[in-house]
């Protein structure tokens, strides 16, 4: 049964904390065991961390799939093994005398779908282990490049060797790698010296609770009042309201039929994607559908029930 502690909380992580540190604080404050997060932030980074509570952990993939927006500062002329300021300096180069117009033009060249290689110091799985486990032992592994999407980039300031910019990107984008690639394109080298996550999907850091509040709120009174329900957490997902009979049937493990779905929400048409089924203020289930296959038994690709 859903309860008031199922949902998500928006936390503004401070520098020096790990994402797990924040999870541990929430566990302690709310006295809950089942707590996770949707998208790690490195310890040196700050900003929005979406914390998942109880059955909110089932929303992880949905919440992580949205666009991310960051404020980043990169420093030209210095390369580190981690591609950020916490790493060991492994290379230095001169910084070209670049005009702001040249820098902006080059930044625009990274817009759209680009190929990117993840950092060696990352949590990417490689032969059953995290890539950073090899990197810490001095072992270089060949991580495969992946396609990511840079939706927008705006330069905030240029004070060489530092460049501060705001970037909106797809899931899986490494801003550390982006900074290194930009540095190389500018004829130098670079590392990330500051990073702040401003938004994830529809959620903004301006609406988040400072993680330090939990240090002075041991009973969790403040954080309890900031829980966003499962239904309201999926702001970008198409909604289909169902009656109590349908809700009970689905909760008991009976999958809905395509005719039922269309009768509940006629506007679905040939919609393909995720749909949240709701009853009143409760989230009953998330469906992944392909209505283009309406005449096939495969129209329902996946269902996740919340009980």
CA angle 289, 295, 297 (to 5 degrees): 60
Residues with Cβ within 8 Å of residue 303, at least 6 apart in sequence = 250, 255, 285, 286, 287, 288
CB 179 within 8 A of CB 189: no
The burial of 123, by beta-carbon neighbours within 10 Å (0-12 exposed, 13-18 middle, 19 or more buried), is given as: exposed
CA 272 to chain centre: 23
CB 114 within 8 A of CB 169: no
Nearest to 186 by CA among 209, 161, 155, 159: 161
Q: Which two tokens stand for residue 62?
A: 């949905």
- Nearest-angstrom CA–CA distance, 216 and 38: 25
Residues with Cβ within 8 Å of residue 178, at least 6 apart in sequence = 110, 116, 150, 167, 169
Q: Where are the alpha helices (DSSP H) in the chain?
A: 19-30, 60-64, 100-108, 131-136, 175-185, 221-224, 230-233, 244-251, 258-264
- Nearest-angstrom CA–CA distance, 56 and 286: 12
253: left (phi over 0), alpha (psi -120 to 50) or beta: left
Known active-site residue 295: no
Catalytic residue among 42, 81, 84, 181: 42
| Catalytic center residues | 42
């Amino acid at each position: 049964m859903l309860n008031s502690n199922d949902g998500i909380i928006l936390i503004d992580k401070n520098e020096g904390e790990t994402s797990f540190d924040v999870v541990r604080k929430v566990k302690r404050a709310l006295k809950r065991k089942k707590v996770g997060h949707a998208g790690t932030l490195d310890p040196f980074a700050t900003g929005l961390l979406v914390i998942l509570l109880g059955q909110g952990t089932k929303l992880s993939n949905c919440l992580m799939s949205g666009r991310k927006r960051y404020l980043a500062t990169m420093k030209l002329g210095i390369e580190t093994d981690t591609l950020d300021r916490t790493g060991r300096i492994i290379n230095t180069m001169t910084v070209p005398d670049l005009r702001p117009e040249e820098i902006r033009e080059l930044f625009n060249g990274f817009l759209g779908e680009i190929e990117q290689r993840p950092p060696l110091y990352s949590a990417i799985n490689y032969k059953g282990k995290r890539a950073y486990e090899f990197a810490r032992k001095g072992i270089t592994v060949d991580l495969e490049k992946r396609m990511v999407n840079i939706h927008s980039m705006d330069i905030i300031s240029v004070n060489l060797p530092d460049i501060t910019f705001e970037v909106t990107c797809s899931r899986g984008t490494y801003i550390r790698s982006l900074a290194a690639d930009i540095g190389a394109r500018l004829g130098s080298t670079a590392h990330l010296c500051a990073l702040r996550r401003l938004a994830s999907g529809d959620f903004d850091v301006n609406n988040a609770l400072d993680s330090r509040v939990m240090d002075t709120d041991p009973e969790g009174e403040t954080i309890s009042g900031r829980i966003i329900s499962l239904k309201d957490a999926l702001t970008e997902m198409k909604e289909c309201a169902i009656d109590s009979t349908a809700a009970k049937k689905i909760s008991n493990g009976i999958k809905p039929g395509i005719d039922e779905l269309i009768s509940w929400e006629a506007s679905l048409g040939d919609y393909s994607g995720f749909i949240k089924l709701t009853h009143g203020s409760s989230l009953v289930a998330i469906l992944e559908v392909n209505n283009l296959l309406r005449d096939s038994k495969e129209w329902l690709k996946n269902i996740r029930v919340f009980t």
